[in-house]
Structure formats: C-alpha cells, structure tokens
Chains A and B, each alone.
Chain A
C-alpha cells in the first residue's frame, strides 16, 4: 500500500511543469556518490491483513506485574474519544485559533492533576515519570542551586538510573541514595535526618507508595524536610491518589511521576505519561509546555500555550529544558478517564486495588508465606519466589510479578507482586497454587 495520492499522469504533469523528465532530476544537489543505486532491503509492501497478523502478540492469562507500569480498567469512552481523528492527527497546538480542542483538554488535565495532587500548577506532561523526576532534579539545581541530590533507594530503580544518566554531566554535583529499613521497607529516617542536616544545599526525593509498594511515613518525612532546600514526592501508581492523602498536603516543592494508570494501557512499556506538578514560585523555572486561559479578539474564552520564553524554540541553549513535546494523546486519555470515572469511581478503583492486594496477602498468610517487608502497602508487595515456582507459573501462563533482585542484590529471589482491579479472586488462588 502506498499513501501517495498522485497517479502517474499527475506525476508526469508535475515533471512537465518543472521541466524535468524523472524524479532523479530532483536530487541533483546530492553528490552522486551518495545516491543509493539499489532498493532498500526492506520487505513489503504487505496488505493490511498480513500486517495485522505479523504484528501482534497475546498477553499471558494471569498477570500480577506492575512496578511503575500498570494494568487497569479503561472505560470504553476513553478509546472512543481518543480515536477521534481531530485529536489523533493534530499537531502541537501552536496555532490557537484552530487548536482550541487540544488546548482546552490540556488545561482541564492541568486543572484535574493539580486538584488531585493539591499543587498549584501542572505542566502539559512529560515523556514518563523517570524523565519527569530527572527534570525535577534539574529544576532544583537551577532554582535552588542545590549541589547534592538525595534519592530514596526505594524509588523505582529505572527512575534512579534515568536521573543518573541525566545528571552525569553536571560538574560538582553529587547523587546519593538514602537506604530503606530492611524490616519495614520504609525510608531510613535517621539516615535521612543526618543527610539533610549535613548539607543544606540538598534536594531530596521520595516515592510513596514506594517501589516495594510500601507507603512511606510521610508526616515524619515532611517534618524532616521543613528546612530542606528542595524536596519532592514521586508517585508511580497514580491510582493511589484515589484513596491516599494528596501528596501536596505534605508541602513538597514538586510532585512528579507517572499517570499512565489513568486510562493508558501498558502497551508493552510505553508510551507512559510523566506528570510534573509544582508550586507557583517555580512557574518560570519549570520545564515543559503550559496552557493558559486567555481571550480572543472579541473577548471570548480561549486557551493558548504560554510562557514559551522558558522554552527551547525561544531561548535555545538557555532554555529550562530541551523538551518540545507533550504526551498529547496520553493526556487526552487521562483527562477523559478522570472525567469518566469521577470522584467516586477513582475511589472505588483505588479501594479495589488495595482490597485485592489484601485478599492475596491473606491467602498467602494462611499458607505461612510472609512478605519481605512489614510496612503498610497500597496494591503491591514483595515476596520471595524460588525458581521452581517461577517455572510452574510460566507453564501455567501466570506472570507472578516482576523480579527485583537484579536491582536489589540483597533481596535474593524477590518478586514484586501487583494486584489491580484487572485481577480476580480466582487469579489469586491460581497464583497460590504455584507457590
């Protein structure tokens, strides 16, 4: 299939108007030795049916995997709206007069995210939670001149890896990790206190619920952070906001993370939906696109991209970030999702996740199987699973969570188990059968 609309006659008509005889004449500015004299070695063209059958894969029967990317129920409305081609095939809304749809969706997303987080502002989104965290570190360095980044060691390991990749080139910056308590799985508050007191020019980031699924003692953390130069909370399971206190209530400078759980499928690893919420004082130093309310020439409500003076296309090498996109379609899905499930729906889904995890924990408890950590959980927890059980699971079409011992060698054979409303009591019993 070719998507070129011209037929041969039309092509020839254009050749004639340009005074050329073939397409080769169009490429005369390319030195001859660089012209490819053969066809590309790429098979095809294939028909749609062949493409569909070539490019597919089926998920396993029962899946307990999470760890930053989650499977959740997506109301039918989300797919219906997200496939509106007026959204799907539009560009970044630089021309506001013909982009009010996208612009208002982003404004509404910003409004919903700030109300969920209890923060002042949200940008129009970032690639994923990890790059949002890396951008938060860069903002802390820019706005507060911090010299040391402290990351709780129970922040998603991929996030910590991305932060290190992003910060590597900054001279004189230290990136350190704050350990977790080996019993509770929560951040070691004593170490955190000492680390914060030792260097006033530090920025600290903590994830809650953390990578082990454990809810951090946020009141204690917040009180230690009162004198910190900068601190932030990371949320990777956005559904937790349906039941937990809004992270902004603890007074952080930023709340960043991933909102993929809001109406976006896991899609084998992406796209994800990084969010970035902060306080009003950081508006001018924050990264990413922002949509603001304004008016048109006739005084009517209108929206447009704003504060572009922070951005790369205006400030070039002095920009607050190099980002030039937002996750438009993912934002749309999140906005439609949140509008569809509403306040009680989001609460119910969060309760279901927490209840499912507790149901599975109770089953395991009856079998005498305990979790690795004792801290309170939302919908994920860490178990030890031996190779035999893993093998049995795989044969039964069950994904018993994801292995985490690669990132935490001290947690031998550990597996992060995630329960969502996509699982069932029967799934839990099947998982128990292979243990």
Chain B
C-alpha cells in the first residue's frame, strides 16, 4: 500500500450544523400523552416560558441522516486498530452492550429490582479485589481521574485520622497529567520525581526524596513507557517505613491481570479503568468507570454508599459510615459500565483474563521488535503491553511525530498516543492490545515502515497529509484564538449569521 496522493476529499462528506437544518413545523414527533394537559394555574404562570425551548425543528428522517452521516466522520475500534498507548483500546464485546441495556429502565429507588443488581455489584467487587489482590473496593468513581481523586481523598482522610498533616505526594515524571491534578484537588502538593535512565523509578532516587511530609507515592505500573517498576518491592518498603502510602494508577493493568497482583507488591490504594482494561467502550470520551481498591487499613474511608448485607441476607446501601470521605457521585456511579465489566469478566473467566494480558504483551513486544530499527527506541529496558518510540531519526529529515501520526490516518489507522510521556521528546506510545488480528498488526508495521521510507524520499509530502480523512489538517490555533463554542457564537464572533 502507498499513501493515497490521488484521493480527493468530497465536501459533501461534511455535514451542516443541526440548527441550520431547522425550519418551523418540520418536527412531527408524537410523545406519549397519558394525561390530559392541565392549564397551569396563576401561581405557576410567572415561571412559565412563553417561548418554546430553542431547539432545532427537524423531521425524524433528517435527524437520523444527520447523525448517521456524522458517525461516518469518526474513526472507531470497529473500523480498525487504535494503538493509543495507555488507553487500552481493545475490542468492546457486543454482549456487554446488550447486558447493560437490560438494566436501563431500573430506577435506583426501585429497591426490589436493586436487590438483584446490588448482588451482582457485590460479585464485581469481589472479582476486582481478586484480580488486584486488594481487600475492599468502591465501584462509584465515574472515570479514572475520578478514581484517582477518590483515592487521594481516602489517603488525605487517613492522614487526618492519624492526626498528621503530611502535604506531599510524589509523582514520577512519566505519570498522566491527571495524577498531579487529582492531588491538587485533594489538597496535596504534587512533587515530581525523575525516573532514571532505565525508564523506571529507582529506589535510590526515592530514598533521597522521601521525608516526613510525604503522604504517598503515586505510581503507574507498568508505567507509561510500558516498563514494569522493577524496584517496587523496595519502594513500598521505603514508603511504609516512612508511614507513607503506595498508590497505584491502574491505567496499565491490562499487562498484569492474572499475572501479578498489586496488593502483593505493597500497594495500599489503587484505581482501575474499566473502559480500558475491562473492555467497556470509550464512547467518544465517556462514560468511563474508575473503581478504587484498598487494603483493610484504608477501607473505613471508602466513599458512601457501601454495599452491605443485613441480617436477613438482603443487600442494602449503607449511608452513614462514620469515617467515610462522603459521597462522590449523586447516583451509583456508572452502573451500565459496571454491568459491561461484569459481562466481560464472565465471558473470559479467570484463565481468559490471564490470556488477555499475555497476548497483549506478546503482540506489543513483536511490534516493538519489528519497528525499532526504523524508529528510535529511547529505552532498551524490556517492556510489557506498550512501548515508546520517537521521531529522532525522522526529525533529522524534517518529519515530526505529528506528521507521522497524521500519515497513519491515510493508511486507515488511528495514531498512537503522541508527545506523551513528557520525558521523551517526540514520543509515540504504542499499545496494540490483545484483540488485534495478526494481519492488522502486520499492516500497521508495514504502514510505519512506509512512512519512514517516505520521510527519506519525500519529506515535503507530509505537509499535505492526511488526505484520505474527511477534513485535512485541522487548525487548532485558529480555534483557540476565536473560541467559537456554540452556534450563537458563529454569528457574534465570525460575523456570519447562523441561518437558523
């Protein structure tokens, strides 16, 4: 395959903004009308809007075509490989979607229907505890970052209960940006820790930095270079001797499940990303789910409500745990994502879970081996489920990581995670996952090699890439300067009236 220079992009592919399709009287929806419409009394009248809500007025056919056309402008796992490092874009089983839809109509106030669901959630807690080797779990955090924040609040609460006012949380420089941001909101000061030349945090570095103000270390394992934190045992000992906690960001748990358990490595508190490791869909940004797991010592601080069993063996939600950090969500977390996870775990069973981790590491290592001659590999420490390459060689020819990312789109692939981790210049972080067919992997490797070839032969060609996508390279600076964030702003900022 070659880069398709001859492709012309059709403007018809683009779709007008929904308001511009609107015209009075086109919408003929017929919602249920079980009640006779009652004229609202005088007491209500001042509160009633005389104008109808300002929504687009379009027919059902137009709605369906509009959104179906928009869907075709997206890349998706179901269209091809999505090798975003640390995002674990694996196949999302369809049975999970069907299972989640089954609980759609249940209101959490429906205590009878919730009995069954609380029982299922209780099983899920047990499964996640088993996978992580931890003692207790909360399922309510609605995303990975929400889980991190919950974990940091738990550690903060533990400090308060101990009568200590430790302020610092140590975070390796390879960490996700959410780690320091979550620390700040929980009231800690994030302190950056350099990872060494080998690409992992060395115990000797920690020994120099640790002090009595350190509440915790927040570590991602394997880290965002795909490298297992080999000093983890010594690190956890150092922390515990110092009265500090070891927090693990479980973003990369796909490499470890069924292989090794964080709880046994001395982790006190961690979160999982169910939308990564446990195959629930990303849905264009959410909803995710970020359960937090802890050791017994931290269990009293878990957020409420707690799923408990009463004397009659009925499940109920406990809302008055005295030492809990409180509530973190107004419903029960992202229940449908939890159901998808339970479905996924049930599909695989214990052995299948381990196989997923093994194959994800096998494929990633194969890809690394095939690509490391064409692209610079900044660390030669063995890696697990993902690895980082850079544009060092291509940059000498004027071709950057961003160019390589955009060129991959013309080969029908989503690019890897780019320019992250920050410690690596021009990083490309590649995570293929276990569900990719070997043919797709070979095609990706081939595409990467062809892109390298093109950087030698015709580096100038990259300026007009991508060509096979619905739009050409998007001007993000223009967007940030003008800030046109709604249809109404199209008129006020750009001087063009929104037509409808």
Contact = CB atoms under 8 A, between A and B. Distances in A.
Interface in B212-247: 227-228, 230, 232-233
Given A39-B351, A51-B99, A111-B17, A4 B330 contact: no
A368 interface: no
Interface string A59-100: 110010111110101010100110111111111110111111
Contact of B70 (A105, A171, A296, A344): A105
Contact of A100 (B73, B76, B111, B287): B73
A169 B471 contact: no
Interface in A1-21: 1-6, 10-11, 14-15, 17-18
Nearest to A126: B142
Contacts of B108: 65, 69, 266, 268-269
How many A residues are at the interface, by size bracket?
A: 35 or more
Nearest to A132: B330
Given A81-B64, A329-B281, A42 B127 contact: yes
Nearest to A131: B329
Contacts of A341: 27, 29, 31, 55
A223 interface: no
B236 to A, nearest CB: 11
Given A40-B353, A44-B349, A267 B259 contact: no
A314 interface: yes
Contacts of A331: 284-285
Contacts, number: 693
B334 interface: yes
A111 B347 contact: no
A346 to B, nearest CB: 5
Contacts of B31: 73, 341, 345, 348-349, 352, 421
Contacts of A367: none
Interface residues of B, number: 199
A108 B365 contact: no
B29 A97 contact: no
A51 B49 contact: no
B387 interface: no
Interface in A289-309: 289-298, 300-307, 309
Nearest to A400: B109
Nearest to A92: B285
Interface in B92-106: 92-93, 95, 97-100, 102-106
A42 B349 contact: yes
Interface in B163-213: 176-178, 180-187, 189-190
Given A63-B110, A90-B74, A359 B485 contact: no
A328 interface: yes
A389 interface: no
Interface centre among B156, B264, B358 (most CB of A within 10 A): B358
A424 to B, nearest CB: 4
A391 to B, nearest CB: 12
Contact of B103 (A35, A48, A57, A66): A57
B177 A316 contact: yes
Contact of A165 (B48, B178, B327, B473): B327
B464 to A, nearest CB: 8
A166 to B, nearest CB: 7
Contacts of A107: 17, 485-487
Interface in B12-49: 14-15, 17-19, 27, 29, 31-38, 40, 43-44, 46-49
Contacts of B103: 56-57, 267-268
Contact of A316 (B153, B181, B366): B181
Contact of B144 (A243, A319, A324): A324
B495 interface: no
B409 A98 contact: yes
Contacts of B435: 3-5
A316 B175 CA distance: 10
Contacts of B472: 97, 296-298, 300
A260 B438 CA distance: 41
A270 B71 contact: no
Interface stretch (B338-346, B389-397, B453-461): B338-346
A6 B49 contact: no
A114 interface: yes
A98 B79 CA distance: 12
Contact of A1 (B288, B331, B348, B475): B348
A362 B85 CA distance: 60
B189 to A, nearest CB: 8
Interface in A229-278: 241-246, 258, 265-272
A394 B183 CA distance: 45
Interface in B344-382: 345-356, 358-359, 361-363, 365-366, 369, 381-382
Contact of B365 (A18, A52, A124, A342): A18
Interface string B61-81: 001101110111111111100
A41 interface: yes
A52 B349 contact: no
A225 interface: no
B112 A127 contact: no
Contact of A86 (B76, B348, B488): B76
A406 interface: yes
Given A98-B414, A271-B337, A165 B328 contact: yes
Contacts of A39: 258, 350-351, 354
Interface centre among A87, A101, A164, A271 (most CB of B within 10 A): A271
Given A296-B471, A306-B483, A325-B286, A166 B185 contact: yes
A215 B142 contact: no
A162 interface: yes
Given A55-B343, A57-B103, A111-B486, A41 B469 contact: no
A122 interface: yes
A170 B100 CA distance: 38
A108 B20 CA distance: 11
A111 B487 contact: yes
Interface string A138-150: 1000000000000
Contact of B488 (A77, A114, A289, A312): A114
Contact of B38 (A33, A104, A358): A358
A121 B34 contact: no
B2 interface: no
Nearest to B105: A59
B137 interface: no
Given A91-B84, A304-B476, A343-B27, A425 B34 contact: yes
Given A40-B131, A352-B35, A306 B336 contact: no
A366 B387 CA distance: 72
A199 interface: no
Nearest to A267: B336
A246 B483 CA distance: 24
A35 B321 CA distance: 36
A88 B352 contact: no
A313 interface: yes
A41 B350 contact: yes
A156 B169 CA distance: 33
A50 B346 CA distance: 9
A55 B99 contact: yes
A49 B14 CA distance: 41
Contact of B332 (A66, A100, A110, A269): A269
Contacts of A30: 228, 230, 259-260
Contact of A42 (B75, B113, B345, B358): B345
B72 A86 contact: yes
Given A40-B257, A104-B15, 16 more contacts: A43-B346, A54-B346, A60-B112, A90-B284, A98-B409, A162-B329, A171-B187, A266-B104, A294-B478, A300-B11, A300-B14, A312-B145, A322-B185, A341-B27, A345-B31, A394-B111
Chain A to chain B: the 4 pairs with minimum beta-carbon distance, closest first? A169-B187, A44-B349, A269-B332, A65-B109
16 contacts: A6-B359, A29-B381, A35-B260, A43-B346, A77-B63, A88-B92, A89-B282, A95-B415, A98-B409, A102-B284, A168-B153, A271-B287, A312-B177, A335-B18, A339-B63, A359-B35
